[in-house]
């Protein structure tokens, strides 16, 4: 190697490092970019299909190349990015808020379903109907300013613990999906959450937990009303009136309203994601639809009822959805065989248990 | 300068150039970054206030520093980013679409207000009521898929000409505001349009015209319905039902729904922007509210009725709005004195007429 070449090599290495550092990537990021971007995924059809899609979409020589500005990927949250069993975290939040609600509105203390929740009778709470739960949700998610709600959700998330792992709910995100979010973003995709859960609830932590800012969270939304406080300052109050129901057909409708174009890739896990997945997959050019099947009772949960897995009230994956997935070429991710590890607090692949974790 | 220092200087210059090039900035971008970012703005209180706000928000040593992720700036469109007189471009689009609508639905040919529009009697069209115009808007903006609507708007924009300048409407964006959008983005702000106009209409050109992607356009929106075509393929149809009215209090409400946080900076020009501006300005820390006053009948239009300017049906700026702006410390931009040039097709400041333009 002659001197000018050495100089160029030196310059290039420094340029690259400066570039990556200024672009917000740490040295760890540089190493990771060179290493496997999906270390928690086993080799197999699912991983292969995802990687092929990304290569095809980002290769300027590919006939199915997708310009950077059009790379939109949408993710369901409950059961797709984090655990949804035995009940949605947001429902636990609503139940936990009932005492504060009754303190503010004592007339509710003797009224069902608030009385049952206050009494703390778990068996009775488990028997509440969908209508009861909706009443509780609407009452506990409204009547405050949007900022007060955000602060309250954040406080709750710090204190609340999932009953099985005894960890904050935000620890229960799936490590393979976290890697997928980062992998897609590193390849120029803008990542969105499209959840049947509450838009404002998920926005309270999505940036910190998934690196997804509030404006990239689409969810079920109640109306707000603009008004003025006693101090004359304007604020937005959360109202008990449904504005967007971001489930089923409401997902593609919400995507159009909030994002304005058909996604290139969509990720879901239940019947409520069907329309988002088929809408995404039906577009022209490179498209990816991925559905997660929970079939790992030991490491997480196993539920369907597709493929004979037990049925469940939360996040059902019926047999006809599985058949549609196969027919329309969606990628079915089987947690048991496709994911090396489920959570970041488990030992990393190849590491002995106990060395990793927190 | 000794050799190692020279080497470092050489490396730094190359690193910087490589960095900016890979980050998507052309050499022209490098030059522009060093030059005045707001060449079409005259020196004066408005420009000074805008630049001070940006410095304060982006200086990590400032007590009012705003972290990059929280830098949200919202812009009204009609009258703030482009010309809104004598009528909104979108209304012209709706009127122009009436013949195609009647061809598809011949029963409308004899029905008012469609009959008046078809007859082409300008005086009669000018007398149509707000209710008539709303009927025309709803009929011409619905009943097709979201993709077909986008294509139709794009076709129309290529053919249509503004009656005064005989140019495409998209040429009539304000050059000083285009510079401001780029200046804010160069300083880490995410720029959004928040318009009383149709969200899907503006999305059809906002990326190309303002560098603002569809998901960063908030506007008045009709519902869509998810369904399946004759070929079994899913699509979204535009429906004649109002979902979001993005005017007045609807602006902060729409901002919360679509963006999820209070803007740091907001830009408007009429009474319909009042709530967005006061909501933005009332937040903590560094905040900027800017309102554009059209007082230049020679180069653009002059209308108020604030400060004795003539009243208008489109984009009214009443006297009490001006008084609120002064009282609450909003920045009032006076086109006549604050803007060196209005449009990109005019000679650039300092250039002789005829050399610039197209």
- Which has the closest alpha carbon to B91: B155, B208, B169? B169
Q: How many CA atoms lie within 13 A of A74 on its CB side?
A: 36
Residue A252 pLDDT greater than 50, yes or no = yes
Residue A354 pLDDT greater than 60, yes or no = no
The dihedral through the CA atoms of A203, A206, A212, A218 has a sign that is negative
Q: Which residues of B touch A278 (CB under 8 A)?
A: 234
Interface touch B234/A278, C-beta < 8 Å = yes
Q: Identify the three-state secondary structure at position A298.
A: coil
pLDDT of residue B348: 77
**Rounded Cα gap, residues A32 and A20, in angstroms:** 12
Give me the phi and psi of A237, to 5 degrees please.
-105, 140
What is chain B's mean pLDDT, rounded? 90
| Contact of A272 with B242, CB cutoff 8 Å | no
Q: Given the structure tokens 């506990």, which residue do they identify?
A: A140
**Rounded Cα gap, residues B136 and B95, in angstroms:** 7
Which chain B residue has the Cα nearest residue A72? B215
Residue B16 pLDDT greater than 80, yes or no = no
Q: How many CA atoms lie within 13 A of B10 on its CB side?
A: 12
- Which has the closest alpha carbon to B340: B175, B228, B99? B175
Structure tokens at B215: 């998901």
Query: What are the tens digits of pLDDT across the range B33-75?
Result: 568 999 999 999 999 999 999 999 999 999 999 999 899 999 9
Q: Identify the three-state secondary structure at position B264.
A: coil
Q: Are strands B72-75 and B217-228 parallel, antiparallel or unpaired?
A: unpaired
Q: Which residues of B touch A146 (CB under 8 A)?
A: 256
**Rounded Cα gap, residues A267 and A275, in angstroms:** 11
Where does B36-86+167-338 sit in CATH, by number?
3.40.50.1000
Residues 6 or more apart whose CB falls under 8 angstroms from that of A261 comprise A70, A72, B214, B215
Point out which residues pair with A295 in neighbouring strands.
A302
Interface touch A224/B253, C-beta < 8 Å = yes
Q: Which residues of A touch B206 (CB under 8 A)?
A: none
Q: Which residues of A touch B214 (CB under 8 A)?
A: 259-261
What kind and span of H or E run contains B332?
Answer: strand B331-334
Q: Average pLDDT of B218-228?
A: 97
- Which has the closest alpha carbon to A193: A171, A221, A165, A166? A221
Domain boundaries, chain B: 36-86+167-338, 89-159
Cβ-based neighbour number of residue A96 at 10 Å: 14
**Rounded Cα gap, residues A190 and A181, in angstroms:** 9
**Rounded Cα gap, residues A164 and A343, in angstroms:** 13
Interface touch B259/A214, C-beta < 8 Å = yes
pLDDT of residue B11: 38
The ipTM of this complex is: 0.89
pLDDT of residue A44: 97
pLDDT of residue A351: 72
Structure tokens at A306: 């597709």
**Rounded Cα gap, residues A34 and B156, in angstroms:** 47
| Contact of B73 with B262, CB cutoff 8 Å | no
- Which has the closest alpha carbon to A346: A296, A302, A303, A309? A296
- Which has the closest alpha carbon to A261: A56, A66, A51? A66
pLDDT of residue A348: 77
Structure tokens at A210: 């998934």
Query: What are the tens digits of pLDDT across the range B234-292?
Result: 999 999 999 999 999 999 999 999 999 999 999 999 999 999 999 999 999 999 999 99
Give me the phi and psi of A122, to 5 degrees please.
-60, -40
Q: Identify the three-state secondary structure at position B67.
A: coil
**Rounded Cα gap, residues B263 and B260, in angstroms:** 9
Residue A350 pLDDT greater than 80, yes or no = no
Q: Identify the three-state secondary structure at position B193.
A: strand
- Which has the closest alpha carbon to A275: A255, A303, A260? A255
Q: Shortest CB distance from B261 goes to which of A10, A214, A279? A: A214
Query: What are the tens digits of pLDDT across the range A253-274?
Result: 999 999 999 999 999 999 999 9
pLDDT of residue B34: 62
Architecture of domain A37-85+166-338: 3-Layer(aba) Sandwich (3.40)
| Contact of B269 with B294, CB cutoff 8 Å | yes
CA A71, A172, A190: angle at the middle one, nearest 5?
10
Query: What are the tens digits of pLDDT across the range A22-55?
Result: 444 444 444 445 689 999 999 999 999 999 999 9
Q: Which residues of A touch B234 (CB under 8 A)?
A: 252, 275, 278-279, 282
DSSP string, A87-129: S-HHHHHHHHHHHHHHHH-GGGTTSTTHHHHHHT-HHHHHT--
| Contact of B210 with B202, CB cutoff 8 Å | no
Which chain B residue has the Cα nearest residue A254? B224
| Contact of B240 with B138, CB cutoff 8 Å | yes
**Rounded Cα gap, residues B103 and B117, in angstroms:** 13
Q: Which residues of B touch A243 (CB under 8 A)?
A: 257
Structure tokens at A211: 């690196």
Query: What are the tens digits of pLDDT across the range A54-112?
Result: 999 999 999 999 999 899 999 999 999 999 999 999 999 999 999 999 999 999 999 99
Residue B138 pLDDT greater than 80, yes or no = yes
Q: Average pLDDT of A294-300?
A: 98
Q: Identify the three-state secondary structure at position B279.
A: helix
Q: Average pLDDT of B139-167?
A: 97
Q: Which residues of A touch B215 (CB under 8 A)?
A: 72, 190, 192, 215-216, 258-261
Q: Identify the three-state secondary structure at position A240.
A: strand
Confidence of residue A325 (pLDDT cuts 50, 70, 90): very high
B248: left (phi over 0), alpha (psi -120 to 50) or beta: left
Interface touch A233/B259, C-beta < 8 Å = no
Residue B19 pLDDT greater than 70, yes or no = no
Interface touch A256/B224, C-beta < 8 Å = yes
**What does the buried/exposed string (b/e) look like for B59-79 if buried means 16 or more CB atoms within 10 Å of the residue's CB?**
eeeeeeebeeebbbbbbbbbb
The DSSP output letter for B347 is: P
The region of weakest confidence among A57-66, A338-347, B26-35, B329-338 is B26-35
Pairwise pLDDT comparison (A308 vs A25), residue with the higher score: A308
Q: Shortest CB distance from A217 goes to which of B15, B225, B260? A: B260
**Rounded Cα gap, residues B185 and A220, in angstroms:** 30
Residue A14 pLDDT greater than 90, yes or no = no
In this structure, the dihedral spanned by the alpha carbons of residues A253, A258, A262 and A264, taken in order and rounded to 10 degrees, is: -130
The DSSP output letter for A70 is: G
pLDDT of residue B347: 84
What kind and span of H or E run contains B201?
Answer: helix B199-203
Q: Is the peptide bond prior to A322 cis by the omega test (within 30 degrees of 0)?
A: no
Q: Given the structure tokens 């174009």, which residue do they identify?
A: A261
Interface touch B190/A225, C-beta < 8 Å = no
Query: What are the tens digits of pLDDT across the range A121-170?
Result: 889 999 999 999 999 999 999 999 999 999 999 999 999 999 999 999 99
Q: Is the peptide bond prior to B343 cis by the omega test (within 30 degrees of 0)?
A: no
Q: Are strands A234-244 and B234-244 parallel, antiparallel or unpaired?
A: unpaired
Residue B23 pLDDT greater than 70, yes or no = no
pLDDT of residue A352: 67
Interface touch B253/A225, C-beta < 8 Å = yes
| Contact of A349 with A303, CB cutoff 8 Å | no
CA A292, A65, A19: angle at the middle one, nearest 5?
90
Q: What is the pTM of this model?
A: 0.89
Task: Indicate the length of chain A as a whole number.
Answer: 358
B220: left (phi over 0), alpha (psi -120 to 50) or beta: beta
Residue B18 pLDDT greater than 80, yes or no = no
Which chain A residue has the Cα nearest residue B239? A253
């Amino acid at each position: 190697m002659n001197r000018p070449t050495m100089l160029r090599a030196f310059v290039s290495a420094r340029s690259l490092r400066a570039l990556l550092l200024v672009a917000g990537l740490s040295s760890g990021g540089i190493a990771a970019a060179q290493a496997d971007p999906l270390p928690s995924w086993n080799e197999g059809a699912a991983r292969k299909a995802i990687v092929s899609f990304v290569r095809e979409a980002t290769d300027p020589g590919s006939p199915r190349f997708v310009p950077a500005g059009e790379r939109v990927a949408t993710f369901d949250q409950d059961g797709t990015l984090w655990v949804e069993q035995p009940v949605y975290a947001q429902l636990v939040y609503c139940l936990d808020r009932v005492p504060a609600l009754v303190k503010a509105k004592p007339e509710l203390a003797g009224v069902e379903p608030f009385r049952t929740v206050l009494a703390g009778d778990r068996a009775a709470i488990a028997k509440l109907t969908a209508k009861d739960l909706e009443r509780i949700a609407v009452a506990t998610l409204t009547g405050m300013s949007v900022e007060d709600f955000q602060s309250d959700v954040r406080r709750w998330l710090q204190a609340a613990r999932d009953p099985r792992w005894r960890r904050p709910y935000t620890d229960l995100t799936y490590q393979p999906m976290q890697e997928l979010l980062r992998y897609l973003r590193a390849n120029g995709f803008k990542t969105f959450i499209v959840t049947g859960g509450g838009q404002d609830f998920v926005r309270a932590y999505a940036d910190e937990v998934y690196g997804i800012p509030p404006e990239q969270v689409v969810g079920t939304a109640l109306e707000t009303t603009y008004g003025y406080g006693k101090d004359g300052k304007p604020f937005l109050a959360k109202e008990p009136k449904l504005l967007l129901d971001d489930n089923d057909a409401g997902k593609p409708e919400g995507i159009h309203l909030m994002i304005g174009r058909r996604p290139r890739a969509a990720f879901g896990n239940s019947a409520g994601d069907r329309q988002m997945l088929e809408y995404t997959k039906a577009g022209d050019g490179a498209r990816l639809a991925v559905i997660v099947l929970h079939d790992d009772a030991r490491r997480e949960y196993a539920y369907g009822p597709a493929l004979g897995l037990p049925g469940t009230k939360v996040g059902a994956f019926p047999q006809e959805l599985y058949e549609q997935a196969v027919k329309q070429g969606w990628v079915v991710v089987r947690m048991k065989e496709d994911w090396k590890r489920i959570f970041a607090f488990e030992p990393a692949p190849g590491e002995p248990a106990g060395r990793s974790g927190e």
